[in-house]
Structure 1
Amino acid sequence: MKIWRLNRFLLRTPVDTKCASRSFLPALVGLCLGITVSMMYAPFSEDSCETFLARQDPQKMIKLRETKSLDSGKEEEMYEPRQLEVPADSANYKLDSKAGSKFYRPKFAATELGIREKLLVAVLSSKDSLNTRAVALNKTLAHFVTRTVFFIDQKASVPPPPGMLIVNFSDGYNHLLPIAVLKYVSAKYGHDYDYFMFITDHAYVRAEKIMDLVTHISVSKHVHLGSPRGVEQGSTYCSLDGGVILSQSILSVVNATANMKWCSDKCHHSDQSLNLGKCVLHTAQMECQATVAGKQYTSHPVKDFNFDRDIEALREQTEFNKSISVFPMPDERTHFKLHRYFCEVELNATFYEIQEMKDNILYMSQFAPGGRDSVSWPVGVPESYKPKNRFDVIRWDYFTETHIFFQDDFTNVKELVGVDKLDIQDIIKVSMEKLNAKHNNIYLYSYLINGYRRFDPQRGMEYILDLALEDTSIVSEDGSNNDRVVEKRVFLVRPLGEVEVVPMPYVTENTKIRLVLPITMHDTDGWGLFVENYSKIKTEAGSIMSLIVVFIYDEAPKAGQEDRFSVLRSMLSYYDGKNDADTKSIALTVVSNKTYVSELTIIDMVSSHKSVSDDTLLFMCTVGMQLNMEMLNRVRINTIPGWQVFFPVGFWQFKPNLIYDKKPYPTDIDFNSKTGHYDVLSYEHGSFYNSDYKEARKSLTGSELASFDIFEMFVNFGKLHVFRAVEPEFKHFYQHLECLPNSPGKLYDRCLERRSLNLGTRAQLAKRIFQFQAKKGGH
């Protein structure tokens, strides 16, 4: 009725032809016509709700309604919120006794979602072979798999090798070691990994093939995989020497209390493989399999293996070359020799796959648009970057065998040293090898005429070399070599490899940090700004931050003489009065006697202070740096005890009177290329844990102690990851660097170079020189 009334209203409404547009009339007529037709058609429609209900039996409709209501009730019940029970063996969920049934969520989403790591390898060793065969297995296995744990049944007589996780049961029952390992692994790591491999240290394992195997097996499968060895009560079990792989589902069944008790009571055979196999067969009711999901586990047993004698015969056997494990190894030397052989096998297989891919690309290119000409060189490497405008053009760097020219915006020519020199020498060597391989060894290298290189972010490092070569196939009439010199231009590309994500331990931003600030008489001007900034940050940070100031005196203060740092000490005491007693600053004193004081001397004093523990995070600072919580939090995250130290690259301000035309100069640092630059030669700012510093400090010799700084010490130490990266939140005011002539030579030269680069850009310096000359000429 409402629609009909609306229709009548629209039809009766007078239309003002003067106000209404002609384009509105067709739309109005169409709307009215559509409503009229729909109302006329509705009573005759067979699909209307009223027609359908009128034709149904009322009793059937009542029963249908009751059935639907019951079904809908069940569906609604399915989606009602409900509380899950806490797993009995889970340590990630905790109940609060005061809060009743309140849950504490896991710290990581991966824990709550049940995401596990891929593979844990449990190696059964002994005290006699821990420092020999076990070390060899660790060096060839640990860096490929997710985690490696070594188990022994007696306490070792010598200290364990560094970097190896060792579990000692100390019961002396070697035959029961597999059961103890099963119980330990299932209880400690049972919920963290998808697959678990158990093996003795008598075997050699190709770790890449193991990871490839477990990666291609679904985690939903029950896996008891290995090399079938023998029969126990009509079922086959795996050889522990060849390796046994169990899935998490199988291990969880073995870990059941009743099953583990049965294994401890019944598996007392002298053969370790039989004990492990008997336990798994009884609890999981699953035999050892050599194949799962189309993937085969192959192990190759050898008897009285002598690598030098037997390898020639074994290399012809396909089964041996495809094997995942080889056992037993007589000693660690044989282990490393076999590892080198299989590395060569993998390398040759990789070269073959690369060549096969190249051939396939060339073959398929004929069917693609552009044909063979569309294939980039090298085959399979992306094409060169194409700039969109003149600002995107990648610059080529020109070099010779001794120098590189215009490497950056601040240097004209620079001597080739270090990795740059090794890089140029390597590409010249590769060029000669490729040329002689193509031209039957007729060329001898003379010298490099021209060299160009650039880094393409899509391809890698590209090189163009003009080489002067001596062609030995040319015979000169006068006997000289002048006619034999030829020039060759070669193109080389060092492609980018696959990006690898380095796993890092979890750290928080709540770690307490100690700022270490050395102060000399040249730093007194910036002291007030630094300590005021520190006080503001300290109010926000609270007890997780404190300051250690090291005052460096040119000469020892005499009795009755005024302290040169008295004003600085009073300011420090004033700001400390606002802080808690446990976070007050510490003032230390060093006397230089007008000689160079190394960073190691300063940190040695700080490290040995009674208030600095081994787990203290130390951050080396300077007076001119701007402190802020974002930078300090980045320091905490990037510094990991026992794993990584952090040396940020900060943005240093240029000299204000050179970059600004008039006073007053800005009090803050403007972040752009005309006001400063990232000082890549600055290494005095670094963060590390005191325990890591002490460990690295022991590695220095007497000569290195006199010439190294802390950054070089950690690089030379080699056991920690030295992370050095640009830090946008790290800004530093201009500071005139005092370069002491009695400092180590390379540090003194680096200081002079930094002092010249910290003044300003080339354009700014050239402008000042021009103004000075013009002013001088005017007078």
Structure 2
Amino acid sequence: YVILHGYRKKLLSASKFIHDKNLNKLEIEVNFLTVLKSNMNIFFPGAEIGTSANLLYHILWMVPFTLTSQFPSTFQMQQLFHENYEHNRKGYIQDLHNSKIHAAITLHPNKRPAYQYRLHNYMLSRKISELRYRTIQLHRESALMSKLSNSEVSKEDQQLGVMPSFNHFQPRERDEVIEWEFLTGKLLYSASENQPPRQNINSILRTALDDTVLQVMEMINENAKSRGRLIDFKEIQYGYRRVDPMHGVEYILDLLLLYKRHKGRKLTVPVRRHAYLQQLFSKPFFREIEELDVNTLVESINSDTQSFSFISNSLKILSSFQGAKEMGGHSEKKIHILVPLIGRYDIFLRFMENFENTCLIPKQNVKLVIILFSKDSGQDSSKHIELIQEYQNKYPKAEMTLIPMKGEFSRGLGLEMGSSQFDNDTLLLFCDVDLIFRGDFLQRCRDNTIQGQQVYYPIIFSQYDPKVTYGGNPPPDDDFAFSKKTGFWRDYGYGITCIYKSDLLGAGGFDTSIQGWGLEDVDLYNKVILSGLRPFRSQEVGVVHIFHPVHCDPNLDPKQYKMCLGSKASTFASTMQLAELWLEKHLGVRYNRTLS
């Protein structure tokens, strides 16, 4: 890649001048230098003869031109000398995964060192990819030669020298089948238990798809000039993707392309093609045998030399992080657990038993706040008050508070009221009475919540109906049993939240006008994103949502009612088990999962 500045536009005008002269092949062969020399005062006014001669040789070197081939057209010259003038970009190229970038011999403007380093880094990464691909090709050739010579194939050649195929892994049972993910131009649909059923294609997958399509188009257009046609990529109509952990990433893509014929009768037509692709894993180049002892490394560097003090100072940061990992991070930060509630005494009794085992007996640094809604009579809350008093008498040093509220239940209003009791540096945990949790979850709540920067939104595991799951048999005693059969990750729920009071206020707080079930958590989640805070989402193995029958009030807002019905439908059982029950009922025999 050559970066040109002063002569760039002049070279383009020179090529356009010769092209507009309509010179035939023989005239170009004989008179190319003569034409340029005679018009040097037009292209490069004030240039000396020596400079002109050197410049002509530079032109001949840079332009893909020989005396026996056709001179490039103006359009081709524009592709070779890539212009990147965009408003307020100042030479920054957003998308480097671009065929125009790869085909160009110059990029302009590209004057800022940071942009030049970025471009250089990208070109080196491309070179690394090409070399690793060449390595795989050599392993394939080596494996083939070993077979032809009846010699033993090395273990490395067996792993890296396999030819592309979708049949490397042969499942023995249906549960072992690696499922495909369906994708469109913008969305990804997944049946995996740790993935949302539908999500936007993230930047990592988007980059991988763009790079894959770019390589496909380069292979298709490898001999485009001799064939007199060019094929451009338009879009991905749809596709499938899956990851074979032992071999690589596999794609089936339906591509919409533009066929452009420039020999003979010019023609441009849209075409569709299926591409079956496999991106194989290559040899790993790094493996960490044992955990790095940062403290020992810092002491070793300090004792050897003082010239690397900047490395030592950087490693001290890692050392403190390692210490935090060992000590449990912000272990002394108090968590204020807020639980809005109306009725449901039996469920509340189970919650308090779990709270006693998890927090009261181990003396966790927490404070429990129950926001208890009740109707005008107040009779439905008397048992709850008595239960709280029993625990307060049993654990007099524990911090437990009950805030009574009158009127219709509103989760957002209750959490807003509860959080208003504390100062801005308070760490809040918005909880539900249907949950049971363990102590490790509380520590992750502390570690993953950063005041002014990050809010922790755990993805919790929700149990299916045990009557359906276990067919009337008693469920196991362990509620923390994670499998496709027992439950699912509630990736659409944002109700369980760890957030600082100051960040809650900065985001705008809850919408207290929302009554009844749902929507208040989604509203707050959107506010958190818009406020500039970073939501941290991950599966949380320390929390389980215990199954309970869902009742959806028809008088709810239509949007809330629809969400409630969707949540209710998702709690019956897994789609696979429901399908098996349906087949068993209609076929009249027990459905054999393995043989099917």
Measured against the shorter chain, the TM-score band is: 0.5 to 0.7
How far is 1:364 from its partner? 6.4
Residue 736 of structure 1 aligns to a residue whose secondary structure is coil
Kept in 1: contact 2:463–2:488 (CA 8 A): yes
Give the match for residue 733 of structure 1. 546
Give the match for residue 632 of structure 1. 442
Say if 2:489 is the partner of 1:678: yes
Give the match for residue 584 of structure 1. 399
Give me the TM-score of the superposition, normalised by structure 2. 0.55
CA gap of 1:525–1:362, structure 2 versus 1, over 3 A, is: closer
- Measure the CA separation in 1 of the matches of 2:429 and 2:351: 15
Give the match for residue 62 of structure 2. none
Residue 261 of structure 2 aligns to a residue whose secondary structure is coil
Matched AA of 1:571: L
Q: Deviations over 1:299-322 (max 9, x none)?
A: xxxxxxxxx9999xxxxxxxxxxx
- Measure the CA separation in 1 of the matches of 2:386 and 2:90: 79
Q: Deviations over 1:78-125 (max 9, x none)?
A: xxxxxxxxxxxxxxxxxxxxxxxxxxxxxxxxxxxxxxxxxxxxxxxx
In structure 1, the gaps of 5 or more residues are 1-307, 312-333
For this pair of structures, how many residues does the alignment match? 428
CA gap of 1:404–1:699, structure 2 versus 1, over 3 A, is: closer
CA gap of 1:637–1:742, structure 2 versus 1, over 3 A, is: farther
- Measure the CA separation in 1 of the matches of 2:271 and 2:369: 66
How far is 1:544 from its partner? 1.6
- Measure the CA separation in 2 of the matches of 1:543 and 1:450: 51
CA gap of 1:546–1:410, structure 2 versus 1, over 3 A, is: closer
Q: Deviations over 1:474-503 (max 9, x none)?
A: 8999x9988x74635252649899999997
Matched AA of 1:756: A
Kept in 2: contact 1:616–1:690 (CA 8 A): yes
Kept in 2: contact 1:398–1:406 (CA 8 A): yes
Kept in 2: contact 1:462–1:491 (CA 8 A): yes
Give the match for residue 606 of structure 1. 418
How far is 1:542 from its partner? 2.7
Kept in 2: contact 1:403–1:414 (CA 8 A): no
Kept in 2: contact 1:620–1:687 (CA 8 A): yes
Q: Alignment partner for residue 568 of structure 1, among 369, 384, 400?
A: 384
Q: For the pair shown, which has the larger CA radius of gyration, 1 or 2?
A: 1
Q: Alignment partner for residue 119 of structure 2, among 344, 351, 374?
A: 344
Residue 380 of structure 2 aligns to a residue whose secondary structure is coil
Give the match for residue 180 of structure 2. 396
Give the match for residue 253 of structure 2. 465
| Higher relative contact order, structure no. (Cα contacts within 8 Å, ≥ 6 residues apart) | 2
Give the match for residue 489 of structure 1. 275
Matched AA of 2:122: L
Matched AA of 2:402: A
Matched AA of 1:453: R
CA gap of 1:424–1:549, structure 2 versus 1, over 3 A, is: same
Matched AA of 1:442: L
Kept in 2: contact 1:381–1:495 (CA 8 A): no
Matched AA of 2:179: R
- Measure the CA separation in 2 of the matches of 1:708 and 1:765: 29
Report matched runs for 1:108-147 at 5 Å: none
Give the match for residue 235 of structure 1. none
- Measure the CA separation in 2 of the matches of 1:718 and 1:738: 36
CA gap of 1:551–1:406, structure 2 versus 1, over 3 A, is: same
Kept in 1: contact 2:494–2:521 (CA 8 A): no
Report matched runs for 1:528-677 at 5 Å: 528-542=349-363, 544-553=365-374, 557-558=375-376, 561-580=377-396, 583-590=398-405, 593=408, 597=410, 599=412, 601-609=413-421, 612-642=422-452, 644-662=454-472, 669=479, 671=481, 672-677=483-488
Matched AA of 2:416: D
In structure 2, the gaps of 5 or more residues are 1-88, 93-108, 148-155, 293-316, 589-596
Residue 417 of structure 2 aligns to a residue whose secondary structure is helix
How far is 1:402 from its partner? 8.1
- Once the two structures are overlaid, the 10-residue window that deviates more, 369-378 or 666-675, is 369-378
Q: Deviations over 1:593-614 (max 9, x none)?
A: 47xx464x444323320xx233
Give the match for residue 331 of structure 1. none
- Measure the CA separation in 2 of the matches of 1:655 and 1:669: 13
**RMSD of the TM alignment (CA)?**
5.6
Residue 684 of structure 1 aligns to a residue whose secondary structure is coil
Give the match for residue 292 of structure 1. none
Report matched runs for 1:443-482 at 5 Å: 443-444=231-232, 451-457=239-245, 461-473=249-261
Residue 361 of structure 2 aligns to a residue whose secondary structure is helix
How far is 1:517 from its partner? 0.8
How far is 1:670 from its partner? 6.7
CA gap of 1:773–1:433, structure 2 versus 1, over 3 A, is: closer
CA gap of 1:386–1:683, structure 2 versus 1, over 3 A, is: farther
- Measure the CA separation in 2 of the matches of 1:495 and 1:746: 46
- Measure the CA separation in 2 of the matches of 1:576 and 1:729: 26
- Measure the CA separation in 1 of the matches of 2:495 and 2:553: 15
Kept in 2: contact 1:384–1:456 (CA 8 A): no
- Measure the CA separation in 2 of the matches of 1:385 and 1:494: 13
Matched AA of 2:241: R
- Measure the CA separation in 1 of the matches of 2:414 and 2:279: 46
Kept in 1: contact 2:233–2:256 (CA 8 A): yes
Matched AA of 1:472: K
Q: Deviations over 1:669-716 (max 9, x none)?
A: 37244333333333322223334434444899x99x978444444444
Kept in 1: contact 2:340–2:370 (CA 8 A): yes
Kept in 2: contact 1:647–1:685 (CA 8 A): yes
Q: Deviations over 1:361-407 (max 9, x none)?
A: 37965995546999899999999995475355423334555886773
CA gap of 1:335–1:587, structure 2 versus 1, over 3 A, is: farther
Say if 2:339 is the partner of 1:517: yes
CA gap of 1:763–1:486, structure 2 versus 1, over 3 A, is: closer
- Measure the CA separation in 2 of the matches of 1:667 and 1:357: 51
How far is 1:520 from its partner? 2.8
- Measure the CA separation in 2 of the matches of 1:499 and 1:606: 49
- Measure the CA separation in 1 of the matches of 2:507 and 2:330: 24
Matched AA of 2:231: Y
Kept in 1: contact 2:428–2:501 (CA 8 A): yes
Q: Deviations over 1:614-640 (max 9, x none)?
A: 333322221122233343344344444
- Measure the CA separation in 1 of the matches of 2:521 and 2:416: 15
- Measure the CA separation in 2 of the matches of 1:343 and 1:410: 34
Matched AA of 1:463: Y
How far is 1:756 from its partner? 1.5
